Amino acid sequence: MKFQNFFRNFIFLNYLYKNEKFRFLIFGFFNFAITNVVLQILLFITKIPIAALIAQITNLTLGYYFSSKKIFISKDSTKVMLVNYIFLGFFSWNFNVLSIKYISEIFEISSNLSAIFIIPFLTLWSYFVQKLFIFRS
């Protein structure tokens, strides 16, 4: 009985893994977790732009690998894809910096909490840009 349940769960997880949006969420979560740990630590020891830049470089490195190899599964990652991905990262970094400053000043909350509020917006933006423009198949 336990083996059958395990097998059913395994089949279900395999089914989910075939779904691009599910993979985006799973690998995005790993990327988010690592990047956010880096960002949160750096916000305690450096200025917002530097913390966001280093976190964004971490995010770009992991994100490009996950997106091209695990999520959108592009067999022929090109320089154009990489350049477009870097452009997306540059835009996201600027949005992140400005949003953290704006939210923390307007609502008088910590920059750490502001950074957490911004994540869902950056995630949606990133998915649609990657899907429609960078890794389109």
Write out pLDDT tens, residues 19-41. Answer: 888 889 899 899 989 998 999 99
Place of tokens 């477009």: 84
Cα–Cα–Cα angle for 78, 35, 115, nearest 5°?
Answer: 120
Q: How many CB atoms lie within 10 A of CB 75?
A: 7
This prediction's pTM = 0.70
Q: How many CB atoms lie within 10 A of CB 103?
A: 18
pLDDT at residue 113 in the model: 92
pLDDT at residue 73 in the model: 80
CA 45/CA 49 separation, integer angstroms: 12
pLDDT above 60: residue 3: no
